[in-house]
Amino acid sequence: TPYAAITDFTPDTSFSVSKTADGEQLKKDILVREAGENLFLAVKITGLFKNMHIRIMPKQEKPYRRLAKISESQPEFQQSNVQGTLVGFFTPELFQGVAAAGFHLHFIDDTHTFGGHVMDFEVAEGKVEISRISSLVQHFPVDDPTFVHETIDYADLAAEIQQAE
């Protein structure tokens, strides 16, 4: 994995969803509750999802293809009325490049048989928990010669990341 985000999740805010909520509207509601779009946030939603649309990146072999190319042929799956947990992060536009700006969410159902990167969702009922992230620490693979000596093509990198997200 070229990138991972982790946190010691401790919610600062939580609220219940008691009627069907569209994923895009719910993301807007989260930002309004947290007073803006300039903070990193960790999000956890547990409950019954009316619809869950996910994708799964296929396993890669060397030589590794660019993320945007891989995302063109990724398998996508949908389930309705699925109980589970959605987790992820919101990255402010200000930090595009450090991470992909916007929400980056993953889902796993309660039976651990259905999960992946979230494309779209609707919550039928559940609980939303939000944690404000006050610091950012990055670690670099300084002992990985493949990374250290790789020539990286930056020309379309930002656009490719947005396309893949």
> Domains in the chain and their CATH numbers?
13-164 (3.30.1330.80)
In the Cβ-directed half-sphere of 33, how many Cα atoms lie within 13 Å? 18
Q: How many residues does the chain have?
A: 165
What pLDDT score does 157 carry?
66
Structure tokens at 152: 């990286």
What is the DSSP secondary-structure string of 62-76?
SSPPPHHHHHTT--E
pLDDT (tens digit, 0 to 9) for every residue of the chain, 165 residues total?
A: 567 889 999 999 999 999 999 999 999 999 998 877 899 999 999 999 999 999 998 888 888 787 777 878 889 999 999 999 999 999 999 988 788 889 999 999 999 999 999 999 999 999 999 999 999 888 888 898 888 888 777 777 666 666 666
Given this model, what pLDDT does residue 158 score?
A: 65
Instruction: Write down the pLDDT at residue 97.
Output: 78
Rounded Cα gap, residues 96 and 107, in angstroms = 23
Q: What is the pLDDT of residue 107?
A: 99
